[in-house]
Amino acid sequence: MSFINYNAKEIHCKIVYYGPSLGGKTTNIQWVFHKTNNPDKSDLTELPTDIERTLFFDFLPLNVGDIRGFKTRFHLYTVPGQVVYDASRKLILKGLDGVIFVADSQAERMDENIQSLENLKTNLEQQGYEIDKIPLVFQYNKRDLPNSLPVAELRNKLNHFNSPDFEGKAKNGKGVFEALNTVSKSIITTLKGGEI
């Protein structure tokens, strides 16, 4: 749910990176932070847990477009991947505008991907969202590893929503901005009253 700052003439939108633990969510957001040369971006804020981190920062992209004279500022969040941090996940999902689901392409991580996706769906429903009605993008991360499943299999087991999806290798930026740009444009389309 976007927030409008009338004084700054900005619409604030929230994008959440969701997925299994150690799947690449943090690496994605760190890549975006370090490669975004916008002076209007905030600091990268870290909320540490015992095992993982929740990261946050916001930025004003250059080429997304205005909505009725308002600029769009995106706030990017990661969620902790482990199920024990479900309360944190729910809190971070409040007021979201879009989700990038970062799946780990390794064959042995498929059950965790499915569990995380089901958890996302449940947590969204508890807050009044339907997963197939929000801007949602899949990034199949760690494509460079030898035990990566074929994209067709990942798509078949995870992307039941016909959402845009991208192959990724977050540690070198492959697929990172493609996923972010796609979900951002989908959010803008939704805000303008169009279909996802």
User: Which helix (H) or strand (E) covers residue 183, if one does?
Assistant: helix 176-191
Phi-psi region of 173 (alpha: psi -120 to 50; beta: other; left: phi over 0): left
Higher-pLDDT residue of 12, 178: 178
> How does residue 39 score in pLDDT terms, banded at 50, 70 and 90?
low
Per-residue pLDDT reduced to its tens digit, 42-64: 666 666 555 555 555 454 554 55
Measure the CA–CA gap between 38 and 148, rounded to whole angstroms. Answer: 34
Count of alpha carbons within 13 Å of 119, Cβ hemisphere only? 24
pLDDT value of residue 7? 78
Domains present along the chain, CATH in parentheses: 3-191 (3.40.50.300)
